[in-house]
Structures are given as structure tokens and as C-alpha cells.
Amino acid sequence: MTHGPGPTPWQRAGDDEVAYDGFARILRRPLLLPDGRQAVWDIHDSPPTVSVLALTDDHHVVLVEQYRPGPDRVVLSLPGGLVDHGEEPVAAGLRELREETGYAVGAAELVASIDPPSHTQPRHVVLARGAHHVGAQRLDELEEIDVVLIPVAELRRRLPTGRLGATEQTYLALDHAGLL
């Protein structure tokens, strides 16, 4: 298969305008397309996020179960959250894991940094091994989280259903760990 020179990048046609600034921040970005047309694109502008696949020594995964307003249901997902300004993704992931679950790990590594098409910041994926319980959760005021441990095989069985949160990040971490 032969490829041409590739798509031409769109050019900015002005400054971003804040369309909404609440729990989420949405920008309206004016763009100039290669054929001269102008378009305005809505962009999700939030800090980078991190999700952690934490594995115990007995081959279980530490997950969180919580209500999510978007799908309007309780969702089982990887622990994670926002990466604070100046914080490294692995450190943020370990902090979020400890806060949301009360678990710490023996070792962790950055698996990937995903650039979603309509976001300004990446979603980081961390793989952590040797997860063990070290204390109580330290939840934010709007968090109500149950910690759930399931075998890796059960997580793999549930992934294709599309009902888990952080599905993309879970696949990437399991693949990196050689567990798919």
C-alpha cells in the first residue's frame, strides 16, 4: 500500500475561547481547513489524567466502583484521576491509587500516554505490581468509592463488554504486562 504525503494540518484561525468552565472546561477553537473553509471545534481542556492497573501478587487487579455522571450508572474501573501541575504521571498514579483504594505497590511504570482527539492533555496509563493494602482510603469530598479485587482472567472476560471505565487504558496495561 502506498501512502501520499498525508493529511495537511489545520491551522489556528484565532485564539481559543472558553465556552464553558465548570467541572469540565470546554474551549471553542477556530480553525482554518486546508481548503480555506473555517470551522470551530469544541475541545475538552482539563489537566492530564492517569489510570493505574495495580496487580496483586496473587494475580488480582485492584479496581474501583463508583457512580459516574456521564453514563449515569455505577462503573467498575481502574483507579485514577488528575495529574497535578508539575507531577510526574507515575507519582500521580501511585497517589491516586493510595487515596482511592488504600493500596500501595512495590513497583510501577508508565505504559503509555494517549492523546485523545478532542482533548488538550494526555491520558496516562501506569502498570503497578505488588499491590498490597496499607491503610484506609483518603477520598475527596465528592468521591464514594468501593474497592473491588478481581482475578486478571475475570477482568479480561469483562473488558469486551464495553461496560468498564478506562477500557482503552486497561487494554494497554494488560497488553504491556503480557496478560491479554
Confidence of residue 4 (pLDDT cuts 50, 70, 90): confident
Q: Does residue 102 come out as left (phi exceeding 0), alpha (psi in the -120 to 50 range) or beta?
A: left
CB 19 within 8 A of CB 42: yes
Could you give the percent of the chain with pLDDT greater than 70? 99
Cell numbers standing for residue 66: 463508583
Confidence of residue 13 (pLDDT cuts 50, 70, 90): very high
The single-letter code of the amino acid at 82 is L
Residue 81 has pLDDT above 80, yes or no: yes
Cell numbers standing for residue 58: 496473587
Cell numbers standing for residue 45: 481542556
What is the pTM (predicted TM-score) of this model?
0.91
Residue 90, Cα to own-chain centre: how many angstroms? 12
Residue 29 has pLDDT above 90, yes or no: yes
The HSE-up count of residue 166 (CA atoms within 13 Å, CB side) is 25
CATH number of 49-176: 3.90.79.10
d(CA 75, CA 140): 18
23, burial (CB in 10 Å: exposed 0-12, middle 13-18, buried 19+): exposed
